[in-house]
Amino acid sequence: MWLPRVSSTAVTALLLAQTGLLLFLVSQPRPQVPTGQPRPVHVLVLSSWRSGSSFVGQLFSQHPDVFYLMEPAWHVWATLPQASAPALHMAVRDLVRSVFLCDLDVFDAYLPWRRNLSDLFQWAVSRALCSPPACSAFPRGALSNEAVCKPLCARQPFSGAQAACRSYSHIVLKEVRFFNLRVLYPLLNDPALNLRIVHLVRDPRAVLRSREQTAKALARDNGIVLGTNGTWVEADPGLRVVREVCRSQVRIAEAATRKPPPFLHGRYRLVRFEDVARAPLPEIQALYAFAGLSLTPQLEAWIANITHGPGPGARHEAFKITSRDALNVSQAWRHALPFAKIRRVQELCAGALQLLGYRPVFSEEEQRNLALDLLVPRGPSSFSWASSADSRP
């Protein structure tokens, strides 16, 4: 694929210009919540690629009280592909803050001046953008469908997104482009925000299997993670990206569990995808309770369908949510990956496996034996910091 060559000096200048614009936007007066109205709740689903985050994002998106956007920071990385992930942290954080405050003018730096809803990355997976006031494909509060929404709402004006954002009690963003929890401390300390963080993790062996199925879709992001100065990276024989993902998950979890700052108490919850796959309703009820949401009968039926479908677990298209057997999905890597590759992942991600509660396998026989449970139960000693008692708002 042909890419324009841009010097590192130009990239630096562009980064500085982008950051200056974002800081200016952040400094502008914000619309105040009218007296007597509760403050909006802001939820950041913090995860990594191929960790079940699109599924968890939909758990929030389909809720009638939620305005949801999937990875708005995709636009930052798409605009500045020659930068590294740490260099883009500030721009990503400032964009996320603005979106939480429904100040969508922040996209002026990343989108064309004349823009529609469809200019937002994965806009059609947001139920709120498929219903009034953004669009009328579905009645407000009804479950939405991406395939139906796209042709009906693609040309709706972008301004509808901001109007919709300001009309909901909960604003939820899903992001995979933060590699350090400390980057988010300014947001947690921001009096304009009411922020809670859902940290979604998944067994690194399952992450690898899913990444290999969607390698082309992740090539640009891989390059930014590895700091390749704009070169896209599709093949990753050394599993360098997986290693960086594991390191970031450990970094985030350790910051939240080992002497966390006081302002993080009750505002961080770790969720393992495998726990949701095994017991969807109780896990999702606890997740909603952490966010200040309630499970409706309509959502309960939708969750039962989406997690107990006939699909075997193979998914070759990124970001698509279909009705599948969630438990089979969580175990699919045990049939699909060669043991030599699993052993290598376990070496690179030993710290993540131990901290997050995943048992290693020591032979191909153990790998294939699905009766051998590789998920460490969450107990008072190992996961008390993620319990409901510690997650009350």
Q: Per-residue pLDDT tens for 161-185?
A: 999 999 999 999 999 999 999 999 9
Average of pLDDT values for 311-334? 59
Residue 34 counted as domain residue:
no
Euclidean distance between CA atoms 391 and 383, whole angstroms = 12
When mean pLDDT is compared across 224-228, 307-311, 378-382, the lowest value belongs to: 378-382
Identify the band that residue 37 occupies on the pLDDT scale cut at 50, 70 and 90: low
Query: Per the structure, how many domains does the chain have?
Result: 1
Residue 249 counted as domain residue:
yes
Identify the band that residue 13 occupies on the pLDDT scale cut at 50, 70 and 90: low
Asked if the model's pLDDT at residue 107 lies above 50, the reply is: yes
Identify the band that residue 22 occupies on the pLDDT scale cut at 50, 70 and 90: very low
Residue 186 counted as domain residue:
yes
Q: Name the residue with higher pLDDT: 1 or 324.
A: 324
Buried b (16+ CB within 10 A) or exposed e, 78-98: ebbbbbebeebbbbbbbbbbb
Residue 344 counted as domain residue:
yes
Residue 308 counted as domain residue:
yes
Average of pLDDT values for 22-39? 50
Residue 252 counted as domain residue:
yes
* Phi (first) and psi of residue 70, to 5 degrees: -95, 115
Q: Name the residue with higher pLDDT: 308 or 238.
A: 238
Residue 215 counted as domain residue:
yes
pLDDT at 330: 80
Residues paired with 175 in a beta bridge: 46
Average pLDDT score, the chain: 87
pLDDT at 259: 87
Residue 133 counted as domain residue:
no
* Amino acid residing at 343: R
Provide the domain limits for residue 328: 39-102+166-384
Tokens of 389: 């008692």
Tokens of 346: 């376990």
Euclidean distance between CA atoms 124 and 154, whole angstroms = 8
Euclidean distance between CA atoms 146 and 182, whole angstroms = 34
Give percent above pLDDT 70 in the chain: 82
Asked if the model's pLDDT at residue 380 lies above 90, the reply is: no
At 312, which CATH number? Answer: 3.40.50.300
